Homo-oligomer: A and B are copies of this chain.
C-alpha cells in the first residue's frame, strides 16, 4: 500500500537522522527467546558465566530481554557516520523490467569496504572490547564479510584481530584474506593446528575444508585461552540483532518520510543478523498489535534451518565448546553440500528469529541457487549493483512476490534487504556465467545425519 507523493530514486536520511538508539525487539516479545544454557549444568548462562568469552557489556546486552531501547555510544555513532545512513532505494528499473504493479524498495547495506551490513555490529563489538581495555578479539569468518568488517573495526580502534577463516574460503577467496590483512588482521585457515580443537578435527577429518561451526570452536578456544582477548561473533547472537536493528530503524524512518507502509518485508537468513535487524521495528509493531506485515525469511534450499530444521537446544559450534541455544537447527555437524556458493551456511538460526518464527510472526521459504543467481543477474543489469549471493536470496523472493502481483494486479509494496555486494564472489558468478552452476536439495537422509549430532539434553 503506497500513499503520498512520488519518491525520489534513493531515499537518504540526513546524517542527524541516523537512529540514536538500537531497538531491542526482545523487550516486546511475550515469548522471550529461550536462554543460553550451560551444557554441563543445563542452567541459564549469567553475565559472569559469559564474561570469559564475551566482553562484559556485550554479555549484558546478550541477556537483556527488558530494555526496548539502548543508546548507541558516541564513538560507535561517529563511526556509523562514515557509511550511514545507508540508502533505501526505489527499484524503479527492476519494477519496469518485471512489468509489475508492485512497488519494490531495497535497503542497501553494501556501500562500505566490508561490502555488507556486518560492519554495524563489528564496530559495536570492537568498541566495547576497547572500552574494557582488552588487547584484541578473535572470530571466525566464512564468506569473509564478517571478518572484513571486524578487521576494519579493530583497525579503527587499534585492537588486535585474529580471524579463523573456513579453509575452503581462505583458499578460494585470497582477496578477502588480503583485505583483512590490509586492515592489520591475522588470518588463519580453519581447521588449523594452532588450537586443540583444530588439531582434533584435522585428525578425525583429514582433508576437511572446514565449516563455520569448526572455525567458531577455534576462535572461542583462543579467546578463552589468551590473556586480554575475547571472542566476537557476527550473527546468531541476541546482541548482534540488537546492533543490526539500525537497518530496520533507518528503513522505517525513510519509509515514513515518504509516507509508504510496506506490505511485505523480505530478508535473507543465514544466522539471522540481517533479517533480524531489518525486521526489528516492524515485527515490534506486529508484536504490539499496532500493524501487520508479511515478513519472509529466505534461506538456501541447501541449508534449510528454518524450513526443515528442528526447534531444539543445540550447540552453536562443531566442537561443542559454546553454550547451547534453543534454535532451529540442522545439527551442529551439518555442512552444506560442496556445490553451495556464498554464505548462509550456518547450521542454526538466531534464537530470537527462531522464537518469532515458531510463534508465527514470520514465514520462511527456501530457494535454489541457480534461481538465486538468475535473480542476481537481472538485478545487476537493471539496478546496476552486483549483489552478494546471500542478498540475492532476498532478491529472488522479492521478484517472485512482484510477479505474483503482476498476476493478481495487486499494488503491494515490497521491501527487501540488499545486504551487500558480490565483488568477492566472482568465482560463483563465473560458474553461473559458464552455466556450470548446480543445485542440490539435501534429502531427508542427508538431514538425518546432521540431526543425529544434536545431543539429547535432559531438559526439565
Question: Are A182's CB and B9's CB within 8 A?
Answer: no
Task: Output the least CB separation between A172 and chain B (Å).
Answer: 12
Q: Which residues of B contact A182 (CB under 8 A)?
A: 377, 380, 386, 429, 432-433
Q: Which residues of B contact A377 (CB under 8 A)?
A: 182
For residue A83, CB closer than 8 A to chain B, the reply is: yes
Chain B residue nearest to A385 in the complex (CB): B113
Q: Which of A84-122 contact B (CB under 8 A)?
A: 93, 111-113, 115
Q: Known contacts A112-B385, A113-B380; is A429 also within 8 Å of B178 by CB?
A: yes
Number of interface residues of A (CB under 8 A): 43
Question: Are B82's CB and A383's CB within 8 A?
Answer: yes
Whole-angstrom distance between the alpha carbons of A311 and B427 in the complex? 44
Stretch of A128-136, A359-367, A402-410, A418-426 on the interface side? A418-426
Question: Are B179's CB and A426's CB within 8 A?
Answer: yes
Q: Known contacts A183-B381, A426-B174; is A9 also within 8 Å of B386 by CB?
A: no
Q: Known contacts A179-B386, A423-B175; is A184 also within 8 Å of B113 by CB?
A: no
For residue A56, CB closer than 8 A to chain B, the reply is: no
Number of copies: 2
Contact with B along A409-451 (1 / 0, CB 8 A): 0000000000001011011011011000000000000000000
Q: Which residues of B contact A382 (CB under 8 A)?
A: 156
Q: Which of B81, B174, B175, B184 contacts A10 (CB 8 A)?
A: B81
Contact with B along A3-32 (1 / 0, CB 8 A): 000001110100110000000000000000
Q: Which residues of B contact A397 (CB under 8 A)?
A: none
Q: Which residues of B contact A93 (CB under 8 A)?
A: 82, 156
Q: Which of B9, B81, B386, B430 contacts A8 (CB 8 A)?
A: B81
Point out residues on A near B: beta carbons under 8 Å. Answer: 8-10, 12, 15-16, 78, 81-83, 93, 111-113, 115, 152, 155-156, 174-175, 178-179, 181-184, 377, 380-386, 421, 423-424, 426-427, 429-430, 432-433
Cross-chain pairs A/B with CB under 8 angstroms, 17 sampled: A9-B82, A10-B82, A12-B12, A111-B111, A113-B423, A115-B423, A152-B384, A155-B381, A178-B430, A181-B429, A182-B377, A182-B380, A182-B386, A182-B432, A183-B380, A423-B423, A423-B424
Which 3 A/B pairs are nearest by Cβ-Cβ distance?
A175-B426, A178-B426, A9-B81
